[in-house]
Structure 1
């Protein structure tokens, strides 16, 4: 079993990133975790909810940059199977992949144009020596 560590996700968070970090760790939508926290805030007393949030903000480490980058790379390709889960619909994932493939195709065309150009041949000749 893979052990997930809790972090504060300050990149996607509104205050300290506690709710966003919990949503990332449990694979839930951020708005749902925020709704649960606001419910806790309203129904259990204001002081208790604020105290829990401050303690969580102090105890949880900020999410490392590598983990943030990894989450952002895979965020466009995660499919939602239940309404409360993070992710996108199949149509949105297909749209994201199509956009990325179009960008890769444009980059390959630029490389191909350079490789068949006269300047590439000249650069190669000068770099031989």
Structure 2
């Protein structure tokens, strides 16, 4: 049996689905066949969980994003630490630019140019 990869994103796959692609998305995420998820869903509905299954299906239909057309299944998804490092680098760059602008605005050069523009 395949191991669960937590770096994958749960998508709704309407291209492979019957009713919105929720079961297809769950099957893709768990690396199992779609028919097993559909059979489990139908059995759960038959054995007294009808309203719970229908409510969960409707919620997942609206919460999950549809799979993009240009999505590659073999593409590496960056880990959360890599994403945080990238965001941290962008914030550091923005802070450096802000400091440079603040240094310029508070300088004598800025006030002198501003007075020349007013003349």
Interval of TM-score (by shorter of Structure 1 and Structure 2): 0.5 to 0.7
Per-residue CA distance 1:40-77 (angstroms, 9 max, x = gap): 1111332111111001101101011122xx34xx7xxx
Aligned residues: 70
Residue 48 (1) aligns with residue 52 (2): yes
Ranges in structure 2 where 5+ consecutive residues have no aligned partner = 75-119
Task: Give the Cα–Cα distance (whole angstroms) in 2 for the partners of residues 45 and 27 of structure 1.
Answer: 24
**Secondary structure at 1:65 match in 2:** coil
How much does 1:2 deviate?
Answer: 5.7
Over 2 Å off, 4+ runs: none
2:27 corresponds in structure 1 to 23
Q: 1:63 to 1:39 in 2, by over 3 A?
A: same
> How does 1:78-97 map onto structure 2 within 5 Å?
none
Ranges in structure 1 where 5+ consecutive residues have no aligned partner = 75-129
Q: TM-score, normalised by structure 2?
A: 0.54
Q: TM-score, normalised by structure 1?
A: 0.50
**Secondary structure at 1:12 match in 2:** coil
Residue 62 (1) aligns with residue 66 (2): yes
Higher relative contact order (CA 8 A, sep 6+): 2
Task: Give the Cα–Cα distance (whole angstroms) in 1 for the partners of residues 59 and 44 of structure 2.
Answer: 15
Q: Between Structure 1 and Structure 2, whose CA radius of gyration is higher?
A: 2
